[in-house]
């Protein structure tokens, strides 16, 4: 028996990208159906940590960041540590990123600790397994239709809609779904992308890994080692160990060790018998007779690939389906969340009639260069640790916090200024408020709020004496039927207590900026204008593809 249903957006995949898209679409009242072939969210920890950029976006959902911080297993600025060692029993490990007060703090550590000056968001210290469960529950609370245990069978872009057949993996019942758009968030295997014939760029598979989730008493060997990650390297034996609750299971005594194996060798996933897994864990820990209880194991590849395009007709790629990158730096999962948010606000504006359908073209134009740059930076970190000779031809290293909050966009839906240098990244500690850049964080009203707290929809942020722009944008938004939040710095409740509006936004008291739902500046005026009404309408039309 089969049935037929209609929805605005079909989402394929229930990882970070798909769940984020479903969450933020539900927040905006857009009907969507998510299908995921697995019966539940991941049991494997996968990525660790939600960086400040992701937490800013998740903060647009009431109560969500508070929930994440209640469930997190560490506070990044206080007890974060990453080390390299021959085993966990190594008496002299090399600390890459040191805990606060450890005496190993470097320039990048100081930048992490200084991020409070650039955002009110705090790092979310939990594994992806925990994060996925939280996002799933919150999305369902908001009314999202999430169908786990349901697989995509076929799909076809019919020009005016996407028609797909999905199957319940338990009953075998098939359903025909018709959607205005489809998001392919089906992971690194990228079945939808392959079906569409979209190629990839990059260095391909770099390493095969086998993730071993296990239970053991490591209280003595881990005493005094409060780390997120330990990179294990002894001769040709290497892998990554995750501990102190960071495995994401929330169960005391469970840990994860992911061991590398050569993709050119004859060794395959089927060779990781329970006996081999136990032996690898014992070697990584450095205790030959350690009592180990295996919980689960899974094979995966560390790879470097970026799709040649992120859009094909009415199908849009997100997460690992769009860009697969090494885990060094923790950007893969965060980039997936940011893809989901970016697609959600664009699709919501398009299906609600606030934006033209061409707005979706700039998803590829803007997000693909960011995905390529981020993947290259993660690759650079990976080869620096495991194969420095492979770094030739890669771009210069960019500080990780710049990747968090400093990436830039360039597209036809941003009103670029004449002196823009076209850069892909800027120092967030020297934010410019240039169109295409993240709107700077400005504390307001004695630190009780900030500009960041005002964002999440289309927002006009105006200077203390910018009444001309306030009136012009209010009238233009009403005429175009676009919801617009208007805030004037210096008005009641929005006092610029530090007097930094002009410094941070590079605009005078009569200037203004138009901030998109993703917290990015789409247009800026440094001063007043005699043609404010005309310029305001043009700015809205450009940023929303209403031309």
User: Same domain for 445 and 352?
Assistant: no
Q: In this structure, are 11 and 151 located in the same domain? A: yes
Domain span including residue 460:
438-543
Give the model confidence (pLDDT) of 372-412 as tens digits: 999 999 998 888 766 666 677 788 889 988 999 999 999 99
pLDDT tens per residue across span 440-459: 999 998 777 899 999 999 99
Answer yes or no: is 246 within a domain: no
Same domain, yes or no, for 32 and 180? yes
Question: What tens digit of pLDDT does each residue of 354-382 get?
Answer: 999 999 999 999 999 999 999 999 998 88
Evaluate if residue 415 carries a pLDDT over 90: yes
- 29 and 144 in contact (C-beta within 8 Å)? no
Spell 108-138 as b/e; 16+ CB within 10 A means b: ebebbeebeebbbbbbbbbbbbbbbbbbbeb
Burial (CB < 10 A; 0-12, 13-18, 19+), residue 16, is buried
Tell me the mean pLDDT in the region 508-520: 97
Q: At what angle do helices 16-27 and 128-141 cross, to 10 degrees?
A: 30
Residues 322 and 449 in one domain: no
283-297 burial: b if 16+ Cβ within 10 Å, else e: bbbbbeebebeebeb
Q: Is residue 369 situated within a structural domain? A: yes
Q: 456 — phi, psi (to 5°)?
A: 135, -20
Total tally of structural domains belonging to the chain: 2
235 within a domain of the structure (yes/no): no
Which residues make Cβ contacts (< 8 Å) with residue 389, sequence separation at least 6? none
In a domain, 479, yes or no: yes
Q: Is the pLDDT of residue 224 over 50?
A: yes
- Tokens describing residue 510: 């009569």
Residue 285 lies in a domain: no
| Whether residue 191 is found in the same domain as residue 328 | yes
Q: Using alpha carbons, list the distances in angstroms from residue 386 to 95, 139, 201, 234, 283.
A: 16, 39, 22, 12, 19
Residue found under tokens 């169960």: 251
Look-up: residue for tokens 């990436």? Answer: 407
Which residue, 368, 384, 400, sits at the end of a domain?
384
pLDDT(104) > 50: no
What pLDDT, on a 0 to 100 scale, did the predictor assign at position 213? 87
Answer yes or no: is 389 within a domain.
Answer: no
Q: Would the pTM of this model clear 0.95, i.e. be above it?
A: no
**462 within a domain of the structure (yes/no):** yes
What CATH number corresponds to the domain at position 161?
A: 3.50.50.60
Reduced to 3 states (helix: H, G, I; strand: E, B; else coil), residue 344 is: helix
Shared-domain flag, residues 355 and 481: no
149 lies in the same domain as 51: yes
Percent of the chain with pLDDT over 70: 89
Integer Cα distance of 464 and 495 in angstroms:
9
Tell me whether residue 429 is in a domain: no
Residue 101 binned pLDDT confidence (cut-offs 50, 70, 90):
very low
Q: Please tell me whether residues 61 and 164 are part of one structural domain.
A: yes
Mean of the per-residue pLDDT values of the chain? 89
User: Could you read off the pLDDT of 236-258 as tens digits, one per residue?
Assistant: 888 888 764 544 444 556 788 98
Whether residue 504 contacts residue 440, with contact meaning beta carbons closer than 8 Å, is answered with: yes
Model confidence at 463, in pLDDT bands (50, 70, 90)?
A: very high
pLDDT(438) > 90: yes
Residues 172, 64 share a domain: yes
Domain stop point among 319, 350, 384:
384
């Amino acid at each position: 028996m089969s049935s037929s249903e209609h929805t605005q957006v079909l989402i394929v995949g229930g990882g970070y990208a798909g769940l984020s898209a479903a969450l933020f679409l539900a927040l905006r009242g857009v009907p969507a159906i998510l299908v995921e072939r697995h019966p539940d969210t991941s049991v494997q920890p996968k990525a660790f940590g939600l960086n400040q950029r992701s937490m800013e976006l998740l903060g647009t959902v009431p109560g969500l960041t508070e929930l994440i911080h209640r469930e997190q297993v560490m506070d990044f600025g206080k007890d974060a540590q990453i080390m390299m060692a021959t085993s966990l029993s190594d008496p002299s490990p090399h600390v890459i990123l040191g805990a606060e007060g450890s005496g190993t703090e470097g320039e990048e550590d100081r930048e992490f600790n200084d991020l409070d000056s650039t955002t009110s968001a705090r790092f979310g210290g939990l594994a992806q397994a925990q994060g996925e469960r939280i996002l799933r529950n919150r999305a369902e609370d908001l009314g999202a239709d999430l169908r786990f245990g349901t697989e995509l069978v076929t799909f076809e872009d019919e020009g005016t809609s996407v028609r797909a057949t999905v199957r319940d993996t338990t009953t075998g019942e098939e359903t025909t779904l018709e959607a205005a758009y489809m998001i392919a968030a089906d992971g690194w295997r990228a079945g939808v992308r392959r079906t569409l014939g979209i190629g990839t760029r990059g260095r391909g598979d770099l390493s095969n890994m086998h993730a071993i989730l296990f239970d053991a008493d490591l209280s003595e060997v881990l005493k005094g080692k409060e780390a997120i990650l330990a990179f294990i390297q002894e001769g040709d034996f290497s892998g990554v160990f995750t501990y102190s609750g960071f495995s994401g299971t929330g169960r005391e005594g469970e840990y994860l060790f992911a061991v590398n194996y050569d993709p050119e060798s004859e060794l395959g996933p089927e060779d990781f018998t329970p006996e081999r897994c136990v032996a690898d864990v014992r070697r990584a820990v450095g205790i030959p007779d350690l009592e180990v209880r295996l919980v689960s194991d899974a094979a995966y590849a560390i790879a470097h690939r970026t799709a040649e395009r992120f859009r094909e007709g009415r199908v849009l790629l997100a997460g690992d389906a769009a860009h697969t990158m090494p885990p060094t730096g923790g950007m893969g999962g965060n980039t997936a969340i940011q893809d989901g948010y970016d697609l959600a606000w664009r699709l919501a504006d398009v299906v609600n009639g606030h934006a033209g359908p061409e707005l979706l073209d700039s998803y590829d134009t803007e997000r693909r260069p960011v995905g390529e740059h981020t993947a290259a930076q993660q690759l650079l970190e990976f080869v620096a640790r495991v194969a420095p000779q492979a770094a030739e031809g890669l771009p210069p290293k960019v500080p990780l916090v710049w990747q968090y909050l400093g990436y830039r966009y360039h597209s036809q839906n941003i009103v670029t200024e004449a002196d823009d240098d076209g850069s892909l990244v800027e120092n967030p500690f020297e934010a410019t408020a240039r169109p295409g850049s993240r709107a700077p964080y400005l504390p307001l009203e004695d630190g009780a709020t900030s500009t960041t707290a005002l964002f999440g929809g289309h927002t006009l942020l105006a200077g203390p004496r910018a009444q001309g722009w306030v009136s012009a944008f209010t009238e233009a938004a009403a005429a175009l039927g676009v919801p617009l939040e208007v805030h004037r710095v210096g008005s009641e409740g929005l006092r610029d207590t530090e007097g930094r509006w002009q410094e941070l936004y590079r605009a005078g008291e009569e200037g203004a900026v138009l901030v998109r739902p993703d917290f990015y500046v789409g247009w800026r005026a440094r001063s007043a204008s005699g043609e404010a009404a005309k310029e305001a309408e043009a700015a809205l039309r450009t940023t929303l593809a209403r031309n």
